[in-house]
Structure 1
């Protein structure tokens, strides 16, 4: 058995109420186990199919979505900025702020530096912080040279955006700085509404989220129809191609300077920064979306470590009776046992029978599990047609 297969995640899911996880692959080499796996696959398929047809479909995507495409983990950022054997000048900065280097937490280190600079100016600390931000920018933007790495993103976007014209557009909220979702959409020829103008230079204006794309008919007697596949993208922590020019003027640039980059860098102050423009507008859109009726929220690649995003979501689960939450994480089983407070709350809600579904799978596996709305079986198509007639009446 190869090391890759040995470390592969065995996909499974946990529906509301039952305590056992249902494997999507045969656990034993016999006919009974294969039959049980097929039944579990059908059950999850039907759940996902009905979820995709809910009026509102919202995705919260974290850094785990980009790892499979070559995106950096927090440990990678630590190694890039500090390294296994720090140089003398780096060690001096770390000692200056009194950080325990054995912890290897880049977010905690940058938080210490920002807190120290807020009290006293220090050229060495300022230079280290500037260089750290530049390295983060480079790490989060330099891994997309090969489009083949985006196969999972393309499948994910392609299938989720195939929704009925009368339903609301797919909304993807992401904490990632990288351009994975934009690049995947570009490769597929899908239009992304991201809050920026369509003219150059592209400037941020939240009013663009209220606009849509239609196909104008050639014959004047026909009515316009919505363009297929369009989805809305909200980058909650900013992007590697956003530059803040001051006075609320945020534009897209290929390689913004670190001091202009409109990013919420990994540090304790990101909660406060989320309530400054343009991030404030994106947070407002997020909070409104999780409270819409008849909504399915898919959380993938997100570890529930950002309280400013986790708390509104957990509150919505408790207060929104028409909300379905699907949480996808390759370590979901382990996180329910030794994860943070939010994971423990998710486990309790799931056990109590709330509409909370837990899926143990990585982003690549989950992208393949998503039903293709254009490839429905005759039975699925009939159910969909009946539901459409009932809704119309």
Structure 2
């Protein structure tokens, strides 16, 4: 859920202090500083969103405001606030300390144990766990009333100039937040599935686009607004694997057919099997594109197969801007995992890495609306940017 205590601030490259976006006290000096900081971040985001390539990496934090589950929620769903007898038995069988309350570690040990030796009781626990996770990630989204942040996000970021590349959203979430938000807006998410029912996965559809053809045939076609590419890196709650590479979209797939990469150590290997392989290939290519802005929101940098390529790109791609949005960014830079510490070091060295302390709902309100600019405003912004660069 949205953390109302999150203090809005940002940290530019090489900066040693965070710049507050809201005054801590009602003082004229602090209000003036906050307004100046707001203007600086607004101009940075405005320039970033107009770069040739705009890429988003979204994690579970983006779904919290819509009611999406956290890892601790999944733990309680599978194991229980007070561990069930089945969970305790499974943990004892695989030698896992259930007190750690780490769902990924537990399921990883269960999978590893089953790979070495068949155990019907253990397999039953694993299958039941996957079924509960699938249901937990599906049932929270019953309407559009909790999707205001996603709708604003898609609306503002997908309204880019026709000459720029389409917005690309990569997400580790199983849920349908972005799809439902796009539907509510009349936008189009190109997700690798066919346009006819039943919708079937085919990587060729990622290479398609949508244009508006003139009625009289004399004018050239123009690209349709509000179209973006959506890559579900860990699968989706409405993907069903029918075997032989046949992936179809279903409202409620059976747990044994659900095409998901569940939270376990094996997700690295599973990411390089279809249909996930295609999304991973697109992700690895996207972070290497020149003149690119990558926005990371709600992602904790706990997935090595996604974090490592991104950090490598920051070091090797001279035309890459990285904007990391997290309500606990300041804390993570000080006491987070190795990827967070590496990001902090790269930013201090002068790499184009920005940090914004905000949750997803707060961040979308900071995103400039590209279409709200008049031609005169756009020209003035361009002149100001050129003047600052001199």
Same fold, judged at TM 0.5 (above): yes
Whether 2:135 is the aligned partner of 1:138: answer yes
Describe the shift of the 1:211–1:6 C-alpha distance in structure 2 as closer, same or farther (beyond 3 A).
Answer: closer
Shift of 1:361: 0.4
Whether 2:28 is the aligned partner of 1:36: answer no
* 8 Å Cα contact 2:86-2:125 kept in structure 1: no
Whether 2:59 is the aligned partner of 1:62: answer yes
Whether 2:39 is the aligned partner of 1:51: answer no
Match of 1:371 among 363, 368, 373: 368
- The CA deviation string for residues 107-134 of structure 1, in whole angstroms up to 9 with x for no partner, is 0000010011001111111111111111
Partner of 1:391: none
TM-score for the superposition, normalised by structure 2: 0.96
- The CA deviation string for residues 359-382 of structure 1, in whole angstroms up to 9 with x for no partner, is 000000001000001112676322
Following the alignment from structure 2 to structure 1, what is the Cα–Cα distance between the partners of residues 320 and 202? 29
Partner of 1:212: 209
Following the alignment from structure 1 to structure 2, what is the Cα–Cα distance between the partners of residues 333 and 316? 22
SS in structure 2 of the partner of residue 325 of structure 1: strand
Shift of 1:83: 0.8
1:1-393 matched pairs, under 5 angstroms: 7-376=4-373, 380-383=377-380
- The CA deviation string for residues 4-53 of structure 1, in whole angstroms up to 9 with x for no partner, is 99952011000011211000001221111101000000000000000000
Shift of 1:383: 3.7
- The CA deviation string for residues 40-89 of structure 1, in whole angstroms up to 9 with x for no partner, is 00000000000000000000000000011100000000001111222223
| Structure 2 unaligned residues grouped into runs of 5+ | 385-390
Following the alignment from structure 2 to structure 1, what is the Cα–Cα distance between the partners of residues 322 and 382? 25
Following the alignment from structure 1 to structure 2, what is the Cα–Cα distance between the partners of residues 378 and 289? 30
Shift of 1:310: 0.3
Aligned length: 384
177-186 or 346-355, which deviates more: 346-355
SS in structure 2 of the partner of residue 336 of structure 1: helix
SS in structure 2 of the partner of residue 268 of structure 1: coil
